[in-house]
Each structure stands twice: as C-alpha cells, then as structure tokens.
A and B are shown apart, each in its own frame.
Chain A
Amino acid sequence: MKYNSSTGFSRLLIIWGITLLVVAISLGLTLFLIEQSKQTVIPIAPPPLPVAANPSDTPPPPQRVNLFLLDPTALTLVPVKIERRLHTESTQRLRQVIKALIQETSPNFRNPIPRGTLLNEVYIDSHQTAYLDFSRHLTDGHIGGTTAERLTVMAILKTVFDAFPNDIKQVQILIDGNEVKTLAGHLNLSQPLHFFD
C-alpha cells in the first residue's frame, strides 16, 4: 500500500481538532460548575464593623521587671531585667511576673526554680498576702539542701517584692492548692513569709 502524505496530514488535523474540542468543552463545563457552586453557597455574614476602641483595652507599654536569678557563680541572686507588657490589674500582673520568672532561661544565669514547674494560680488577699500556687515540680524537682531551698524561696520573694513594693507584704507558697510545711525538708513554709534585707 502506497503511503499518501496528504491523507496523513488531514488525519493529524482531525486528531488535533478533536483534542482541542474536548479540552474546550471540559474547560467550559468546569467554569460552568464553578459558577453554579458559587451561587449555591450560603453567603457569609460580613465581618462586623470595627467598634471604637475602649481606652482600657489598649495594650500597655512594655515595662521593665527584675527577675531574681542566680549569677554565673550560682551562689548569689541577682536582678535580671526583662521587658513585658504587664497587665494593670495586680493579680494578673503577678501571674505574668511569676510565669516570667519560672520560664526565664537567660544565658549565663541559672534559674533556681526547678525546670518544669508550673504556676497554677495566684491570689492576693486584703492583708496584702500573695498566695502563689505552684505545681508539684517545685518540690519534687528540687535538689534539696538548706542553701538551695533558701535560694529558691528567696528568688520568688525578691522578684515579687521588687515588682510589687506597695501591693504585696508577704507571700505564701502553695503546692497544687495546698499549704505545705516545706519545699525540701528545711525551710518552714507553713506561714506567709516576708523578706527583711
């Protein structure tokens, strides 16, 4: 059979034509379906119009807070300055400060609060006593010894009294909501403590 070049060319044209037709139909169908689906969707309520901002809700400017951590010798507590946007309300602010203390991991300074300790709750009563309720990590994760126990307690007290010189007079440490006699078997924490420099 003799090969006819014009017949081959026309076949190619037909194949291409069919292909383009199929593509065009598919595209049209797709666009049609998209358009259809847009029309069936329940319209979302427009976002509420911005309300005039309440002056009390404006974020406060960052404030400097001293967190008391162990210096590089790990013998003495020193103030380490950090900046935080602190809440204006005392209890909220106390929560922020204590959370900052237990989470602080500044290089060159050691945190005397055992790693993993969480702050459950804080409360300030009418006698200006702050109750700080920590998780059990504070006692279970402590290295022990009177010296280390004293430094842990002093870090908490110094940080609180430095940040709240007028609002808080004494601090009672609680563990999981309960009063505790001691952290590591030495210091008496059965009562609120204050610090006399």
Chain B
Amino acid sequence: MTRQKSNVVYIKNPKEMRVNRRLVHHPLIAMRNAVYALFFVVCISCIVDNGVAQEPDVHFIDADGKTIAEVPAQLKDETVYLSIDAVKQVFDPAMTYQYNHPRKRLTLRMKGKQLRLQMDKPTINIDPGGEIVTLSAPPVIIGQQPMVPIGFFTQLLPLFNDVEVIYNPSLRRIQMRPKGAWMPTETAGPQNWAIIIDPGHGGVDDTGCQASTGLLEKDVVLALAKQIQQLNKPREMQVYLTRQTDTKKTHFERIQVANRNQGRLFLSLHCNASFSPHEKGIKIYLNNPKGQLRFPSTIGQAPAGQRLKILAQANFLKQSRDFAADLQTELNFLTEIPVTITELPLIALSEIYMPGVVLELGYLSNAEDLEQLSNPEYITSVAQAVTRAIQRYISSANQSLLPTASEQ
C-alpha cells in the first residue's frame, strides 16, 4: 500500500519498496549499464581486431638454451603469427622482402633463394628448383603487416639450412639447433653405448608418490622409460630398462641390470612430492655423499666392501655432473621454472659403477605439474628432451675420447 503526500513517498509493503526503488533509480541504473557496456566494448575492441589477439612474445633460443630474440606474436584462428622481420632477426640478417599490396603477394630473398608467398594461401614456391611447401596455416596481413605462421619457422627453415627447429607451444619457445650435432661419432659406435633407464618404484607395495587424481609415480615413470627406449631404437643405441612392467624390483636387481649390461649411463626416473601444494618443477639429483647432507669422514674406517659401495659414484661424479647439465639444458626448454641440480647421498645411485642421475619429473602434489604429467604429449616431449640430452652427453664424451693433435 503506497500513498503519496507532496514529494514524500510512504511505502508500507516491502515488495512495493523494491519496485519503487527501481523506479526511483532507473536513470542511474541505465547510466551504469551504459558505462559497463561501453567498457566491455572497449575491452573487446582492444583485445580483438578482426579475430586477432595480442599474444605473449615468442622466444627464439639457441642449442644451449640462450635467448636469441624475443618476437611479438599475434594469434589468429588459433595460429600464432610472427612478423616477417623475425626471419631476418633470427635466421638471415641479409634477408630482404617485397610485398605487393594489390596482388597480396610476398616475395622473400634469403640464403640465395626466392620464396613466393600468397596471402591467405598455405603454399610457398621456392626458386630456383620450383619446390612447393605447404604450411599448416597461410600467411596473413595483420595491421597492414605481412605475418607468417609459426609453421614457417618449424617447417621451412630446416629446408634451408642444417638446422632443427623445435617449438614448445605452451611456453612460446622456438629452439634452433644444428641438425644431428649430437649424433654419436664413429670413434665409439653407438652400439657401444648401453644406457640404463631405471623407472623408480613398481609393484603393489611400492607405488611411489600418489596424486590426488590417483595417478601413481610408478606408472608415469614406466611410461616415460618405454618412450625413451622406443625413441632410441632407430639410433641403434642400447637402452635397457631395469623393469619393463609394473613389478617390484629390489635395488640389487636394478644394479644387476646396469652392471650386467655394462651400462655407461644410468638414469633413474622419479616423480616428486612436497608438503607444499605450490612447489613445482623438474629437479635433477646427483649422488654425492659429501654434499649438504653427508656421510661422516670416518667412513674411511668402514670395511672395504662398504666403502666401495658408498664411494662407487665418486669416480663418476664429474661425468654425472656433465650429464646433469645436458639434461638441465634440454629440459629447461620444456619448463617455465629453471631446472635445478642438487647433490645428495642417494640410494637409487648407490653401488652404480657408471655416471648416474636421478630425474624428478615434477610434483604430483602440484596441480599444474600433475596436469602435465597426466598428458601423454608432455611425456613424449620429456622423452624427446631426455633423448637429446643423452645424445648431447654421448657426443661430448666421445669428443673427449678423440686423440688430441699432440697424441696423433
């Protein structure tokens, strides 16, 4: 019930009060909504320009993980595009290009070749030779600038030079490295290199860490170990696994696989766990009983057999550090948080008479790491990175075996 006396409104019914309040503030609400709408339109127009959105820079890095250039990127139709100047910046400083606006044709001249690109068409003609390459996405014009898709770098550049190009879409990183730079040399053939991959834990009793989703450490590391073995088959490198199935293996049984096959490199795979749900990232551990946590100096008084077990890794510590550094370089390409190396007395590497490293792939206690470790594509990319690290290590180890000029 409402009654009105001059300018005063008397409201008795609360329902009426709500109605009347709306009526009273109607112009203000309309104005507020208009401001919101304007803000929304401005935001959208800032972000999107004909379906194009500003993306984080793409980082070009060299074989050692050093940044060569950071190039602004644009996203269109779920494809990352880079300016044509990026080619000049990272690949050929002498490159020139010409863009014909009416015909929408882009002509590039680099490394003694001419490339003809047509906007909105994925094919590229390369002269001399008449070779035609089809990209996964066509070049486009964004903001009056000709832009090429990321595939231009990953597909085309390896054809021009002996380079391998690897792209990490999640971190927007492109690594350019000399092709086959780390293939084992003839000095010690690849068949001489026995690599031991040790998937940690296994069996019903020893599952390792368990994620909130039920994902088990023993399963993640076994999947990775098998992929590493598969990737190295064409390379004729001998890769042995300490377990092929979900079975429990004692430390002694694992050592036997390594020593019986005369392994020259031992890689133990694990997943990490932390008391903090925020801790994440890949970590590498080396066996050093004289690190931050250390065995006492009186170890020299222990029986000889025991001393040998404890100090087995001491002779290989330098090579283990070299391999850890190679792993670190390769794995840094995959992760935002730099990979760290820590030296501790480790049981997984005790009594191993070869260079050895423990690789903790990520934290099952962290949601982001868990998501990655649950993704088979990520596991494949880790397997590829580990394979590259092994190649890099073998290559440098073989180089050190080559006779020097004075020896010849």
Give the nearest-CB partner of B201 in chain A.
A185
Number of interface residues of B (CB under 8 A): 41
- The reply on A85 being an interface residue by CB < 8 A is no
Selected contact of A187 from candidates B272, B298, B345, CB within 8 Å: B345
A188 contact set on B, CB distance < 8 A: 287, 289, 345-347, 350
Give the nearest-CB partner of B268 in chain A.
A186
Residues 93-131 of A at the B interface (beta carbon under 8 Å): 110, 112, 127, 129
State whether A146 touches B358 (Cβ < 8 A): yes
Residues 144-189 of A at the B interface (beta carbon under 8 Å): 144-148, 150-151, 153-154, 157, 169-170, 181-182, 185-189
Residues 65-111 of A at the B interface (beta carbon under 8 Å): 70, 73-75, 110
State whether B346 touches A186 (Cβ < 8 A): yes
Chain A interface (Cβ within 8 Å of chain B)?
70, 73-75, 110, 112, 127, 129, 143-148, 150-151, 153-154, 157, 169-170, 181-182, 185-197
Tell me how far the C-beta of A105 lies from the nearest C-beta in chain B, rounded to whole angstroms.
Answer: 14
Give the nearest-CB partner of B364 in chain A.
A145
A22 vs B72: C-alpha distance in the bound complex, in angstroms? Answer: 111
Q: List 23 A-B contacts (CB under 8 A).
A: A73-B278, A74-B276, A75-B274, A129-B296, A143-B209, A144-B210, A145-B360, A145-B364, A145-B365, A147-B273, A148-B272, A169-B296, A181-B251, A185-B270, A185-B347, A186-B346, A186-B347, A188-B289, A188-B347, A188-B350, A193-B345, A196-B292, A197-B292
- The reply on B271 being an interface residue by CB < 8 A is yes
A157 vs B277: C-alpha distance in the bound complex, in angstroms? Answer: 24
A150 contact set on B, CB distance < 8 A: 293, 344
Q: What 0/1 pattern do residues 245 to 262 of B give for CB contact below 8 A with A?
A: 000000100000000000
A145 vs B344: C-alpha distance in the bound complex, in angstroms? Answer: 14
A194 vs B295: C-alpha distance in the bound complex, in angstroms? Answer: 6
A191 vs B338: C-alpha distance in the bound complex, in angstroms? Answer: 32
Tell me how far the C-beta of A148 lies from the nearest C-beta in chain B, rounded to whole angstroms.
Answer: 5
State whether B283 touches A144 (Cβ < 8 A): no
Selected contact of B275 from candidates A110, A153, A154, CB within 8 Å: A110
Q: What 0/1 pattern do residues 166 to 208 of B give for CB contact below 8 A with A?
A: 0000000000000000000000000000000000110000101
Asked, given contacts A191-B299, A192-B296, whether A144 binds B273 with beta carbons under 8 Å apart, the answer is yes
Give the nearest-CB partner of A197 in chain B.
B292
| Further 20 A-B residue pairs, CB within 8 A, beyond A147-B283, A148-B273, A157-B293 | A75-B279, A143-B273, A144-B208, A145-B272, A145-B274, A145-B365, A147-B272, A147-B274, A148-B274, A150-B344, A153-B293, A154-B293, A181-B251, A185-B201, A186-B346, A186-B347, A188-B287, A190-B347, A191-B310, A197-B292
State whether A195 touches B292 (Cβ < 8 A): yes
State whether B276 touches A75 (Cβ < 8 A): yes
B287 contact set on A, CB distance < 8 A: 188
Tell me how far the C-beta of A147 lies from the nearest C-beta in chain B, rounded to whole angstroms.
Answer: 5
B271 contact set on A, CB distance < 8 A: 145
A62 vs B206: C-alpha distance in the bound complex, in angstroms? Answer: 44
Tell me how far the C-beta of A159 lies from the nearest C-beta in chain B, rounded to whole angstroms.
Answer: 14
Asked, given contacts A185-B201, A194-B296, whether A143 binds B275 with beta carbons under 8 Å apart, the answer is yes
A127 contact set on B, CB distance < 8 A: 298
Residues 301-356 of B at the A interface (beta carbon under 8 Å): 310, 344-348, 350
B360 contact set on A, CB distance < 8 A: 145-147
A144 vs B216: C-alpha distance in the bound complex, in angstroms? Answer: 11
Tell me how far the C-beta of A186 lies from the nearest C-beta in chain B, rounded to whole angstroms.
Answer: 6
State whether A145 touches B310 (Cβ < 8 A): no
State whether A193 touches B293 (Cβ < 8 A): yes
Tell me how far the C-beta of B292 lies from the nearest C-beta in chain A, rounded to whole angstroms.
Answer: 6
Tell me how far the C-beta of A68 lies from the nearest C-beta in chain B, rounded to whole angstroms.
Answer: 13
- The reply on B363 being an interface residue by CB < 8 A is yes
A195 vs B276: C-alpha distance in the bound complex, in angstroms? Answer: 23
